């Protein structure tokens, strides 16, 4: 198996449009006005970094957040969602190695304890601290370890601490998923950075992962809420590794304002900032699929048709089909597996006129096979990124889903996850 490698440049997917006036910043540093740190608290058996703290120094920091829709959402999600000011978050306390999920009242207490320690070390109030956890479900979190880790991280807070912070949030990730960009706005240049983790238990609605985004632009809370919501729908809500919905999904945008440059609502600056945020999050989302616990390739399926719910059902059925995903893993252009996934998504609709194209090669029209160059299509599906285009009857609706393949290593990782 070939191990996924960290990209040498951040933007590398053909499915991400990088706007003019956006530049990658080498080393993925934090924007001005932010500090971070990571600590080893003994939660991970490996002894690696497992507690992180991220802080904005500005009292005027605004924010926005999105969380898992899971009916079994973990205590950190519930505590943050219910007890924090989601439009004015200033600090994020996070641990990896233990999800603090399915842990009942004690889990709620430990999440609250974590929030308190984060507030103390971030020099703010508890209602301005988000708490996040990721790792094994159903194991009580040792809050004393987390607090000790946060105390250590708090003493080490620094702009360059983002390297350790990134390591502290990772679990089965094989490479770091983070980037920093500069954006030229009408009022000047601002920075936007993001750190993410995620490789398994990934499914739209939205995908399991943690993602923390920071900017030194001045952004009103209402604008941050609008932009994060739109961009999450086009990124983390569009990916799947294994069709599983996590208990701990969290995405948070912090706007510190240290640059002094404002993103004014309904302005050209808002449009440019939103386009940059969209590109940043889409690349991170695709990287999560690329790292999909043993994945070799990333697929993108686009579906067009005249009935919105059917378009969405077909997209997700194809992206989550074990048969399609194993074919992608093996570089096998077996489009019959795509046809069966369409039929599974739309039962009792035969005869259904559907079209299938793989990497621009038409293989099926109106439900009938068409001739094509087999050697050519085999070469196309051997690439790192493979695109599938599906046409259903009618017009007016379109969707996309990014997905990883499914191979031997995924079974190994998840069969031995707690052992």
Catalytic sites, residue numbers: 208
Sequence-separated (6 or more) residues with CB below 8 Å from residue 180:
24, 25, 27, 28, 29, 30, 31, 191, 192, 193, 194
Token digits for 400?
């996309």
Give 238: exposed, middle or buried? Use CB within 10 Å, 0-12, 13-18, 19+. Answer: buried
The kind and range of the H/E element at 128 are: none
Report whether 177 contacts 291 (CB < 8 A): yes
Question: Can you tell me which residue has the tokens 């919105």?
Answer: 308
Kindly tell me the sign of the dihedral angle through the C-alpha atoms of 384, 178, 15, 12. negative
Distance between CA atoms of residues 315 and 16, nearest Å: 19
Cα angle, residue 281 at apex, residues 279 and 287 outer, rounded to 5°: 105
Distance between CA atoms of residues 316 and 7, nearest Å: 27
Distance between CA atoms of residues 331 and 267, nearest Å: 45
Tell me the sheet residues that pair with 11. none
Count of H-run helices and E-run strands, the chain: 11, 19
Longest dimension (CA), the chain: 67
Token digits for 337?
């597996």
Report whether 194 contacts 178 (CB < 8 A): yes
Distance between CA atoms of residues 236 and 286, nearest Å: 9
- Dihedrals phi, psi of 130, to nearest 5 degrees: -95, 145
Question: Can you tell me which residue has the tokens 């039962």?
Answer: 347
């Amino acid at each position: 198996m070939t191990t996924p490698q960290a990209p040498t440049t951040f933007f590398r997917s053909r499915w991400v449009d990088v706007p003019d006036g956006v530049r990658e910043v080498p080393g993925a540093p934090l924007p001005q006005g932010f500090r971070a740190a990571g600590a080893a608290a003994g939660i991970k058996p490996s002894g690696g970094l497992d507690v992180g703290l991220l802080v904005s120094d500005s009292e005027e920091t605004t924010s926005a957040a999105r969380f898992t829709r899971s009916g079994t959402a973990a205590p950190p999600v519930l505590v943050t969602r219910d007890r924090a000011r989601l439009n004015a978050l200033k600090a994020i306390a996070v641990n990896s190695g233990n999800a603090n999920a399915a842990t009942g009242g004690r889990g709620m207490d430990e999440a609250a304890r974590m929030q308190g320690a984060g507030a103390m070390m971030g020099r703010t109030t508890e209602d301005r601290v988000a708490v996040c956890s990721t790792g094994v479900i159903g194991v009580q979190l040792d809050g004393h370890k987390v607090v000790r880790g946060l105390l250590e991280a708090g003493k080490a807070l620094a702009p360059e601490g983002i390297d350790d912070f990134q390591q502290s949030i990772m679990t089965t990730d094989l490479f770091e998923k983070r980037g920093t960009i500069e954006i030229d706005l009408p009022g000047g240049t601002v920075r936007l950075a993001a750190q993410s983790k995620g490789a398994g238990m990934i499914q739209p609605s939205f995908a399991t992962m943690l993602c923390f985004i920071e900017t030194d632009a001045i952004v009103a809370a209402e604008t941050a809420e609008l932009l994060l919501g739109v961009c999450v729908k086009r990124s983390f809500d569009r990916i799947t590794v294994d069709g599983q919905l996590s208990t701990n999904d969290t995405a948070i945008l912090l706007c510190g304002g240290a640059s002094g440059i404002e993103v004014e609502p309904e302005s050209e600056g808002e449009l440019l900032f939103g386009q940059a945020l969209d590109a940043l999050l889409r690349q991170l989302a695709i990287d999560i699929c690329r790292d999909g616990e043993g994945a070799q390739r990333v697929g993108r399926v686009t579906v067009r048709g005249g009935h919105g719910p059917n378009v969405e059902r077909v997209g997700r059925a194809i992206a989550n089909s074990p048969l399609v995903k194993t074919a992608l893993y093996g570089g096998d252009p077996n489009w019959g597996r795509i046809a069966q996934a369409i039929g599974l998504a739309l039962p009792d609709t035969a005869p259904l006129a559907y079209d299938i194209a793989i990497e621009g090669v038409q293989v099926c029209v109106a439900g009938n096979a068409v001739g094509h160059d087999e050697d050519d299509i085999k070469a196309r599906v051997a690439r790192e990124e493979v695109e599938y285009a599906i046409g259903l009857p009618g017009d007016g609706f379109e969707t996309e889903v990014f997905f990883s393949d499914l191979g031997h290593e995924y079974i190994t990782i998840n069969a031995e996850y707690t052992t």
